[in-house]
Amino acid sequence: MKPTYGGVSRYGLVAFSSSLDQAGPCARTVLDAALLHETIAGHDPKDSTSINAPVPAVVAAAKSGNVKGMKIGVIKELQGEGYQPGVLKRFNESLEELAKLGAEIVEVSCKYFEYALPAYYLIAPSECSSNLARFDAMRYGIRVGDTDGKSAEEVMNLTREVGFGREVKRRIILGTYALSSGYYDAYYGSAQKVRTLIKRDFDNAFMSADVLVSPTAPTTAFKIGDKVDDPLAMYLNDIATIPVNLAGIGGMSVPSGLAEKIHFQLVSKLWRRQ
């Protein structure tokens, strides 16, 4: 479960992307996730982004399980081309089950979702580049090469070389480039404008539906290491979940079918700030 941005304190976490980071529970059941969320959620004066408002009664909602009369919006742009037939089959079966339980299924359109992936992979690396600059071996974290009279710059370079993995380095480099002089407005600034359009898409969709749904990913689960040498293919698997992060609203992924390892994504309205 990914709570609304600010729903859970980030105090004590290592910052990756400050406007996107959010801690949330992983659990075996929806009720377990709700119980854990109510425990860790709420305002924290040590986190300036923490929402100063009562925690919604998610445990009571999880226990009721009542969807009768609820309008469930199927996001048009998060199905179809690029989604495996097996994924869509299980997704449609889940919609049929919800309809049997009394929910009304409607289709909603979020036309700017197609730009979510490139926008996210400009915003997240840019903020990552800024946040992770603090891990320089001088103040905290690991320190490598501080022997044999090496300079501070040499120790810093060696530490960051050893301390960050390939994907982290890739994102730092991409973010540093996007924030560099002459490119800020063209890349990071434009991505933030797209982010605003995606938020408006959600606002419009929630005028027609109480909850939005989609497959969690366009494909079934792949084996660990299968796409490690193809970062773009890895990024494309985030296409359905990234809009939720950009808009800062809550979402949840639940199993949909057993053998195929397929998941069903539910997106909730924004937990409004006071």
**Which tens digit of pLDDT belongs to each residue from 172-200?**
999 999 988 888 888 899 999 999 999 99
pLDDT surpasses 50 at 274 = no
How crowded is residue 261: how many other Cβ atoms within 10 Å of its Cβ? 13
The H or E element containing residue 45 is none
Confidence of residue 228 (pLDDT cuts 50, 70, 90): confident
For Cα atoms 250, 255, 256, give the angle at the middle one, nearest 5 degrees.
115
Q: What per-residue confidence (pLDDT) applies to 190? A: 92
Confidence of residue 65 (pLDDT cuts 50, 70, 90): confident
- Calculate mean pLDDT across residues 67-96: 89
pLDDT surpasses 60 at 272 = no
- Calculate mean pLDDT across residues 260-269: 70
Q: What per-residue confidence (pLDDT) applies to 192? A: 94
Cα separation, 121 vs 173, whole angstroms: 12
Cα separation, 248 vs 108, whole angstroms: 19
Calculate the average pLDDT of the chain: 88
Q: What is the DSSP letter of 206?
A: T
Q: What per-residue confidence (pLDDT) applies to 142? A: 86
Q: Domains of the chain (ranges plus CATH)? A: 66-267 (3.90.1300.10)
Confidence of residue 25 (pLDDT cuts 50, 70, 90): very high
User: What is the rounded (10 degree) CA torsion for 177, 245, 46, 156?
Assistant: -30
**Residue 30: partners with Cβ closer than 8 Å, 6 or more residues away:** 62, 252, 254
For Cα atoms 246, 172, 5, give the angle at the middle one, nearest 5 degrees.
25
Write the single-letter amino acid at 178.
A
Taking the chain, what is the end-to-end CA distance rounded to the nearest angstrom?
23
pLDDT surpasses 50 at 249 = yes
pLDDT surpasses 80 at 137 = yes
95 vs 230, which has greater pLDDT?
95
Q: CA 249 → CA 20, 82, 245, 252, distances in Å?
A: 10, 25, 7, 10
Q: CA 271 → CA 40, 96, 99, 144, 218, distances in Å?
A: 15, 28, 26, 44, 27
Cα separation, 151 vs 146, whole angstroms: 8
- Calculate mean pLDDT across residues 46-62: 91
- Calculate mean pLDDT across residues 20-41: 93
pLDDT surpasses 90 at 140 = no
Cα separation, 264 vs 73, whole angstroms: 13
**In 3-state terms, what secondary structure has residue 194?**
helix
Exposed, middle or buried by CB within 10 Å (0-12, 13-18, 19+), for 8? buried
pLDDT surpasses 60 at 273 = no
Q: Which two tokens stand for residue 216?
A: 């969690």
Cα separation, 55 vs 40, whole angstroms: 10
| Residue 130 contacts residue 175 (beta carbons within 8 Å) | yes
Q: What per-residue confidence (pLDDT) applies to 261? A: 57
Confidence of residue 202 (pLDDT cuts 50, 70, 90): very high
Q: What per-residue confidence (pLDDT) applies to 135? A: 87
pLDDT surpasses 80 at 91 = yes
